[in-house]
Amino acid sequence: MKAIAINGSPRKKWNTATLLENALAGAKDSGADTELVHLYELTYSGCISCFACKKIGGKSYGRCAVKDDLKPLLDSIAKADVLILGSPIYFSAETGEMRSLLERLLFPYLTYTPEYTTIFPGKLSTAFIYTMNIKEEQFATYGYDQIFAKTKDAMVRVFGNCETLLSTDTYQFDDYSKYLTTAWDPLAKAKRRQDVFPQDCKRAFELGARLTAAASGS
């Protein structure tokens, strides 16, 4: 049993990475071998539209043909049992690195058929963890519900499943006084970090355990 978590944040020890670490702890507690990958350590591009993954009879049919730092990770994901993606929201979307991963991960498995059916050969339990500055009641104003739904729909189309965990109104800086951040109340942010973020970590732990149990059929 293998669980892979992928950190789409440039920070290795902050909100997104911490939640992914907790999710992997839950997976490990349920019997999985775990791995955490930091995307910003890798050098790669998004899809280059070569269509090698769509060429019938081609040596890369159903697989991304681009050879860079992402290829070994994509190979590992194809063999894994649990996949947990994590990204902060930057400019109303996942980070650029995460978007490039999604292109390379999902597109090779989707067929250009009327139903856009998947040819993913394995069985994978998946989830997406998001972190963001805004509060949940602001989702409709900024269209965040649509952001989460679109990515989830793509994951479900390819892998058949995807859970979503949202961590909102997150603490962004250790010292807000050093930055122009008058849109937020630093004391309220700090209190939420102390009171609410541990609950998000607990939910992430439970998510990892639940995905591993589903993958193992228990």
Number of domains present in the structure of the chain: 1
- pLDDT single digits (tens) 147-188: 999 999 999 999 999 999 999 999 888 888 898 988 888 888
Helix, strand, coil share of the chain (percent; to 5): 45, 15, 40
Residue of 216, 208, 217 lying closest to 4 (CA atoms) = 208
Q: What is the mean pLDDT of residues 28-43?
A: 94
Binned at pLDDT 50, 70 and 90, residue 218 comes out as: low
**Per-residue pLDDT at 7 exceeds 80:** yes
- pLDDT single digits (tens) 65-92: 999 999 999 999 999 999 999 999 998 8
Q: What percent of the chain has pLDDT over 90?
A: 74
- List CB contacts of 130: < 8 A, sequence separation 6 or more: 86, 87, 88, 89, 94, 148, 164, 165, 166, 167
- List CB contacts of 54: < 8 A, sequence separation 6 or more: 61, 108, 111, 112
- pLDDT single digits (tens) 89-137: 998 889 999 999 999 999 999 999 998 999 998 889 999 999 999 888 8
Q: DSSP state, 167?
A: E
Q: What is the CATH number of the domain that holds 16?
A: 3.40.50.360
pLDDT of residue 189: 85
Pairing mode of beta strands 125-131, 33-38: unpaired
Domain, as residue range, for 204: 2-216
